[in-house]
Amino acid sequence: MAEARTIDSADLTNAVPGAVTATLPNGDLVVAREKLIEFSTYLRDKAGYDYLSNVTGVDYLGYKGRTEADRFEVVYHVFSTRQGGGPVTMHVRAPASDPSVPSVISVWPGTDLQEREIWDLYGIRFPGHPNLRRILLWEGFDGHPMRKDWKEAYFEDDKKPFKSRHPDGHHTWAETRTPWAHNVAYASDFDPQEWLQPATQFRTGDQRRGWTKWSRRRHEDRAHCGQHGAAASEHSWRLSHARGPGRRNHHRAGAGDGLPAPQS
């Protein structure tokens, strides 16, 4: 099994001059879009990051600290299948006036459909993509519905989140809004940080065999009832409950159980 890889962000920052413009507090890298292909090629060929797991788009319209110059962002997560470990996460930013990021399909072909989805929903173009068409919506659809300023059929404000739905200006979890949010009592010795899921209980071999026999008898009883009517149905029902799953009793219809045998 491959040893987990430890990422040295300093090495990646200096790998391709001018490619990494910033390192975020969580270790993610902000990559200049004009250097994206060169840096991605380095990650794949030199650093061993051969697997791109997902690509997503973000619209930061109205977010504090973001302007029209860096409104849009495309985020990439790439892994090394040979060395293991966590991903290298890249953020590539684009202005509202030119929402485009070079396609990395030539480096990681798996980005094909994901870039199409971002184009469809966010309107971010990917120059170099061989088939940049909509993938969820139809050609000719008006706009890109994941943009913050896309107008719905009955839009309420110029941009999302709408005040009528989010009066605080941001999304709030339904669990937080409910009046019973904190109306939960736990045992005094319960610590959610220490809780472990109980081991799954499985039937033993004998129990499974007993259950199979009981299920087969129920099937036979039902087939018998279908041939002999309501009296046999009542008789079989009482017998089945007397037997129960896994019980070792050997009742037969009309043999010592005080019930009349069904007539053939």
Listed residues 164, 196, 216: the one ending a domain:
164
Listed residues 104, 136, 164: the one ending a domain:
164
Is position 63 within any domain?
A: yes
Determine what percent of the chain falls in helix, strand and coil, rounding each to the nearest 5. Answer: 30, 15, 55
> Phi-psi category of 4—alpha, beta or left, where left has phi over 0 and alpha has psi -120 to 50?
beta
Tell me the C-alpha distance between 58 and 155, whole Å.
Answer: 21
CATH number for the domain that contains residue 100 = 3.30.460.80
Q: What's the pTM?
A: 0.60
Q: Which amino acid is at 116?
A: R
Structural domain count of the chain: 2
My answer on whether 13 and 141 are in the same domain is yes
Which tokens belong to 138? 């139809």
Task: Answer with the residue of higher pLDDT: 48 or 240.
Answer: 48
**Residue 194's pLDDT band (cuts 50, 70, 90):** confident
Is position 75 within any domain?
A: yes
Q: What is the residue range of 94's domain?
A: 9-148+159-164
Listed residues 113, 134, 164: the one ending a domain:
164
The answer to whether residues 59 and 71 touch, using CB atoms and an 8 Å cutoff, is yes
- pLDDT tens digits, 132-187: 999 999 999 999 999 999 887 766 677 777 777 777 777 777 767 776 666 667 67
Which tokens belong to 110? 């798996």
